[in-house]
Homo-oligomer: A and B are copies of this chain.
Amino acid sequence: MGSNDAADLVLALDLGGTNMRVAVVSSGGDILARSETATPYDAGAEELAILVAALCRQAASDAGNVSPIGLGAAIPATFRPDGTVGKLPNLPRLSGSDIKGLLARETGLRVELMNDATAAAAGEHWLGAAAGAENAIMITLGTGVGGGIILGGKVHFGADGTAGEIGHLCVEPEGHQCGCGSRGCLEQYASGTAVVRQARESGLIVSTAKDVYDLADRGDLAAGRLFLEMGRYLGIAIGGLLNVLDPDVVVIGGGVAAAWGRFYPAMRAEATARAFPEPAERAKIVRASLGDDPGVLGAAKITFERIAEGRL
């Protein structure tokens, strides 16, 4: 990897609800080094920025004392018109903070801030399951349900950088109350949190979505049914998105996508039944292919582009 100039390297942060990952990424998409730690749920913005800066120094050192030219920070947030962060249901103390300014101060780098699911979409479009697609939708099934959209070969950020919140499409108008304030959002039926909640409502004793999956694998019908229901709701949302956006591919990632074989048939059938025949036949619905890396890779890609455009 010695052929990478410092000018060809950025740091990338993927700040998840459970873990925070930092990587040194080349402009060709190589990951030269990584550092990772558990996300401190209760941390304030300043404490978090100091922690990220330490992870960045560690990764840059591990990559061979390189000097990356910027930091792309993917965070589970929406953004306000003034650039401060809006809602972060999974990191509540960051809400309203100037996390971008703090990260720049602590790392000494130019910082590009973006939504984590949007970064994941950019990553899968760069090097993963959506590579080469003109129009793609990425849905991330994790603690929540995130989304990102590629249109005309480019990430669609929207007017406020909030676009792609597919987890907050309504799939059941009078359904379960959502943390966003609405009801019946896809997130309430297809996230890991939702799977656990519904399993408990069915009387199952579980603490993670993986527990529910394991029960289904051991033949528990109630657990199996939950994934069919999750697939059905995903299919309702995807069917609508096929009609509205007519994409080439829908990519499903995140930890809960591990249950693919359990929810895919119901999801595909429902999406096909709901969508017009042309987009339903054309659009592929596939699993993400970059494992834990789409977030850092996408954050790096977006940061390289911003620097090349002179906008960072």
Contacts and interface: CB of A to CB of B under 8 A. Distances in A.
Interface of A: 78-81, 86-87, 134-135, 147, 149, 151-152, 154, 156-166, 168-173, 180-182, 236, 239-241, 243-248, 273-279, 282-283
Contacts of A78: 276-278
B240 A168 contact: yes
Contacts of A244: 147, 149, 163-166, 169, 241, 244
Given A182-B274, A278-B78, A168 B241 contact: no
A236 to B, nearest CB: 5
A165 to B, nearest CB: 4
A173 B247 CA distance: 22
Nearest to A183: B274
A235 to B, nearest CB: 10
Contacts of A274: 168, 170, 182
Contact of A181 (B159, B168, B245, B273): B273
Contacts of A86: 276-278
A108 B79 CA distance: 52
Contacts of A273: 181-182
16 contacts: A79-B278, A86-B276, A135-B159, A158-B247, A158-B279, A159-B248, A159-B282, A160-B278, A161-B246, A162-B279, A163-B244, A164-B246, A166-B243, A168-B275, A173-B236, A241-B244
A252 to B, nearest CB: 16
Given A159-B248, A163-B246, 10 more contacts: A78-B277, A86-B278, A162-B276, A162-B278, A165-B243, A166-B243, A170-B240, A173-B236, A241-B244, A244-B244
Contacts of A246: 157-165
For the complex of A and B, list the 7 residue pairs with the smallest distance between their C-beta atoms, beginning with the closest: A158-B246, A163-B246, A165-B243, A169-B240, A168-B243, A182-B274, A160-B278
